[in-house]
Structure 1
Amino acid sequence: MSEDLELSTRTLGEAGPRVAFVHGLFGQGRNWTTIARRLADPTEAGPGHRVTLVDLPNHGHSPWTDRVDYVDMAELLAGLLASWGEPVTLVGHSMGGKVAMQLALRHPELLRALVVVDISPSTYPETGGRTDDPYEEASPFAAFIAAMQAIDLDALATREDADAALRAAVPSDMVRGFLLQSLVRDGSSGWRWRLNLATLGRDLGVLRGFPEPPPGAVFPGPVLWIAGADSTYVLPEDRARMDELFPAVRLVRVKNAGHWVHSEAPEVFTEAVRRFLDGVEQRHGLAQVEA
């Protein structure tokens, strides 16, 4: 992966502490727009934040690459954050959460704080197996990719036709709508996926993993871990590793929410992040005074 690759971004808010969001597999920065707008707006508790939404490689408007690698993505993101010249609070969901964790453990100086959304620093099985729960969220992504690749884009007439074609493999209306955000008109010539489906499908095993951090690596800053109570991505047995790598972690489980917790419970999610950010800024301000 080239170090010269430039990630596509969009920023909401012109002032305030910096916050960056990185999406999960099949996502893009725009998925966070509503939450970003809320965090960018000032409140009675203080000024708003300058929120940057990042498209990771092979997603959204960012370039495609010939492989998928968490350390590569973390280094690319680190270069972007370093260019801003100030510490950032980084929020990452699922795949983006693993990228964010890798960055925090390799470049802790770039971050003021970290928010990890429904993912753990662990390797996930190809099909089920983490629990005895018949609802296993880690397994359907290969089927999602196959279903998207099976759509004949040259013959596709409408987005509704694509939705119907995905329904068997992706029964959730919410998830289908999420996937279809990456299906776009290619000028007047037809449709295309903004997702690099071939590379993502080939390297799906890489995405299920979590590269071993550098020896002794720890992120000492404040960390908020938000998990869906109905999700199997963050299990009790993951907590020891979370505490080892991120000793200042606080775990919050959101009731009636699964893996896409920020979409299923947006108000609860946004409030949890806002309160965390307020606390981070209060601690930062106190540290500056004491210095």
Structure 2
Amino acid sequence: MSAISCSTASSSGGCGLRSQPKTCASPAFSSLNFTRTGPNSQSDRLSIHRLALVHGNHKARGTTIRMALVDERQSTGQNIADPPRTLAYDLVQGALVKWRWKEDKSVPDTPTAVLLHGILGSGKNWGTFARRLAHEFPTWQFLLVDLRCHGDSASLKKRGPHSVATTASDVLKLVGQLRLTPRVLVGHSFGGKVVLSMVEQAAKPLPRPVRAWVLDATPGKVRAGGDGEDHPRELISFLRTLPKVVPSKREVLNALIKEGFSNDVAQWVVTNLRPTGPSCSSFSWTFDLDGISQLYQSYEDTNLWNFVENLPRGVHVNFLKAERSLHRWALEDLQRIHSAEEIASEEGGGVEMHVLEDAGHWVHTDNPDGLFRILSSSFQVLRA
């Protein structure tokens, strides 16, 4: 299945079809890196324009999911091949999404959900889950973002400070530039706090009602898990000691396991290694570890309890706790969320607490079926 991607970090700064490249990894790994190509000729720009207008169908496994880049700047005569220089992203659309000109009010705005990854992740983490959502809710589109210092956004060299607030501001700018109207925001871990900060910072371009999902994160102090569990701060510190260019993914995997990190985390981390050339004889990181270190510090320090306990009318925040969470949910956190539920219901907002059974911190891979059932309520309530 192909998708339209936009990598502002590419040399051309363009958008194009995303396809699976040649795999350079050893048999123990399946490469998750995609080629994000940009238009280098007039014919390329025309093909993208046609995709945006026609939504060419592409069948896979008996389903049809339509994917295209929708940028309403076309209606103003701007070149649709010139993407926002804010963040790299993928836009996954259901089969019934209707393209329209900005001035055409006969076609309603496409309901949009924004999916944000956690520390050391990328928008690709949500790819499989987003395609499932697009199949089940074919009138929706799903924006998968590489946050600052991560994935294809890392080479954009964002100015500091690198924080939850500046990351949220980036996503708000991207949404505004794409002229999308998010109705659902989903963030995992660090991305969950970014979601809260987005809603806190601006009622625009976020329409109300808006439903926010904070997956396995709390609004306040971050509490790491117990002994024997992986600690993000320690992981980031260790990764910063490794060379920026390594000969193989296997070497990094072995080093992580030797240092005491779990095999699952080690396997996940090496998906952030990308071949430095066509020979695949060496690999480099797709993220900016110095920036990520600052982001994680901000994630630990950022306190958004005041916002959660004083939600504006029409905003609904859902917290989801993984049953086997890496992060300790203190009794105080749970009590404050339940208290916020009562306050919000009285003032026209909404706060809910959910528990995802049979899942650790990596909720969308540990129990994707359970997570899908819980999140589906937002798309059913707001079904277009």
Give the TM-score taking structure 1 as reference length.
0.81
Q: CA deviation at 1:233?
A: 4.4
Shift of 1:167: 0.9
- Deviation of 1:166 after TM superposition, in Å, equals 1.1
Equivalent AA in structure 2 for residue 279 of structure 1: V
Aligned residues: 268
Aligned to 2:266: 176
Deviation at 1:5, TM superposition (A): 5.4
Matched letter for residue 194 of structure 1? T
Which runs of structure 2 are paired with 1:241-256 in the superposition (5 Å)? 241-242=336-337, 243=340, 247-256=349-358
Q: 1:265 deviation in Å?
A: 0.9
Aligned to 1:21: 115
Secondary structure in 1 matching 2:121: coil
CA contact (8 A) 1:59 1:194 kept: yes
**Partner in structure 1 of residue 233 of structure 2:** 142
Structure 1 distance, partners of 2:86, 2:288, is: 16
Q: Which moved more, 1:49-58 or 1:194-203?
A: 194-203
200, 217, 225: which one aligns with 2:319: 225
2:221 is aligned with 1:123: yes
Residue by residue over 1:93-137, the C-alpha shift from the partner in whole angstroms, topping out at 9 and shown as x without a partner, is 111100100111222340521111010100225xx5xxxx73586
- In 1: Cα distance, 2:297 partner to 2:228 partner: 16
Any conservation in 1 of the 2:248–2:282 contact (CA below 8 Å)? Answer: no
Aligned to 2:133, what secondary structure does the other structure show? helix
Asked whether the equivalents of residues 228 and 253 of structure 1 are also in contact (C-alpha less than 8 Å), the reply is yes
For the aligned residues, what is the CA RMSD? Answer: 2.8
Residue of structure 1 aligned with 2:247, choices 147, 154, 157: 157
What do the CA deviations read for 1:33-75 (whole angstroms, capped 9, x no partner)?
110000011x4xx534211100100001112334311111111
Whether the 8 Å CA contact 1:143–1:169 is kept in 2: the answer is no
Q: For residues 87 and 195 of structure 1, do their structure 2 counterparts lie closer, same or farther at Cα, with a shift above 3 Å needed?
A: closer
Are 1:204 and 2:306 counterparts?
no
Confirm or deny: 8 A CA contact 2:219 2:308 kept in the other structure: no
Q: Distance in 1 between matches of 2:374 and 2:311?
A: 24
Q: Which has the higher contact order (CA 8 A, sep 6+)?
A: 1
Of the three residues 167, 177, 180, the one matched with 2:257 is: 167
Give the 3 Å change call, closer, same or farther, for CA 71–217 of structure 1 in structure 2. Answer: farther
CA deviations over 1:203-255 (Å, ceiling 9, x no partner): 53222122456798524323332210122344432145442796412211112
Q: Is the 8 A contact 2:163 2:294 kept in 1?
A: no
Q: 1:10 aligns with which of 90, 93, 109?
A: 90
Q: Percent same amino acid at aligned positions?
A: 24
The answer (yes or no) to whether the contact 2:257–2:266 under 8 Å persists in 1 is: yes
CA contact (8 A) 1:116 1:223 kept: yes
Q: 2:287 aligns with which of 192, 195, 198?
A: 195
Provide the secondary structure at the position in 1 that maps to 2:315. coil
Question: Superposed, which structure 2 residues align to 1:38-49 within 5 Å?
Answer: 38-41=132-135, 43=136, 47-49=138-140
* Kept after mapping to 1: 8 A contact 2:91/2:143: yes
1:1-150 to 2 correspondences below 5 Å? 6-13=86-93, 15=97, 16-41=110-135, 43=136, 47-62=138-153, 63-65=156-158, 66-83=160-177, 84-109=179-204, 110-111=206-207, 112-125=210-223, 128=224, 134-135=226-227, 140-150=231-241
